[in-house]
């Protein structure tokens, strides 16, 4: 398996999930809790997200085939979805929407909702793992999707635990700058997904 493919897959999922943008929301959702409570919530949220993404990694393409959607068509649709996510990041719409979802959460345990779903394992992340697993046939694509999912979830958990320190170090301006840079990178990756889908249809060379 080419290292460039794994790096691209990792960057795609990392940018879509956006751990840097999730960290301040994790702080807000667990405000006033003890460190061990925060740790348990973070672990539970990441665990649920891994299960959700693993299910779509294993069965996502089969579901697409069942409803008559080809993988090239899904690549184009997924690329467009990721491009819209990139626009949200560039213009702060995703941050505002996530904050709205967080503000609506009234339960003391936000691990499943809204942290795991839809903040971590949202539509963009689900589309990403299906696209990643579909780019390599058989077990190779599945293992690549599993690997990058675990790696990104480990980073999410690490940033959750260090979210307070990171927020103080970067400040609101620093987090905004990083989010916009990641948005630009995701926009370029999403265009590549669309081109790959069109190439499979014979519309691009």
pTM metric for this prediction: 0.73
Taking only the tens place, the pLDDT of each residue in 144-203 is 999 999 999 999 999 999 877 876 787 778 877 877 887 788 788 788 888 888 888 888
| Nearest Cα to Cα of residue 57 among 7, 132, 119 | 132
Q: CA 161 → CA 30, 49, 61, distances in Å? A: 11, 17, 34
Tell me the C-alpha distance between 50 and 110, whole Å: 16
Burial 145-182 (b: 16+ CB within 10 A, else e): bbebbeebbebbbebbbebbebbeebeeeebeeebeeb
Taking only the tens place, the pLDDT of each residue in 160-176 is 998 778 767 877 788 77
Helix 93-104 vs helix 71-90: crossing angle, to nearest 10? 90
pLDDT value at residue 41:
94
| Nearest Cα to Cα of residue 129 among 61, 42, 201 | 61
User: Contact, 137 vs 145, CB < 8 A?
Assistant: no
Tell me the C-alpha distance between 69 and 48, whole Å: 27
């Amino acid at each position: 398996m080419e290292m460039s493919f794994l790096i691209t897959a990792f960057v795609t999922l990392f940018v879509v999930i956006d751990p840097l943008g999730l960290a301040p929301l994790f702080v807000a959702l667990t405000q006033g809790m003890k460190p061990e409570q925060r740790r348990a919530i973070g672990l539970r949220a990441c665990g649920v997200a891994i299960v959700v993404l693993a299910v779509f990694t294993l069965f996502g393409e089969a579901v697409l085939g069942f409803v008559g959607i080809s993988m090239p068509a899904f690549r184009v649709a997924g690329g467009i979805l990721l491009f819209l996510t990139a626009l949200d990041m560039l213009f702060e719409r995703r941050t505002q929407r996530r904050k709205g979802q967080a503000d609506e959460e009234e339960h003391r345990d936000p691990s499943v909702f809204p942290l795991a779903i839809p903040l971590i394992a949202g539509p963009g992340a689900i589309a990403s793992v299906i696209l990643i697993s579909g780019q390599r046939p058989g077990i190779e694509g599945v293992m690549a999707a599993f690997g990058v999912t675990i790696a990104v979830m480990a980073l999410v958990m690490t940033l959750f635990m260090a979210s307070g320190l990171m927020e103080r170090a970067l400040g609101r301006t620093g987090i905004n700058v990083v989010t916009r840079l990641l948005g630009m990178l995701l926009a370029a990756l999403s265009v590549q997904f669309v081109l790959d889908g069109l190439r499979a249809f014979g519309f691009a060379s």
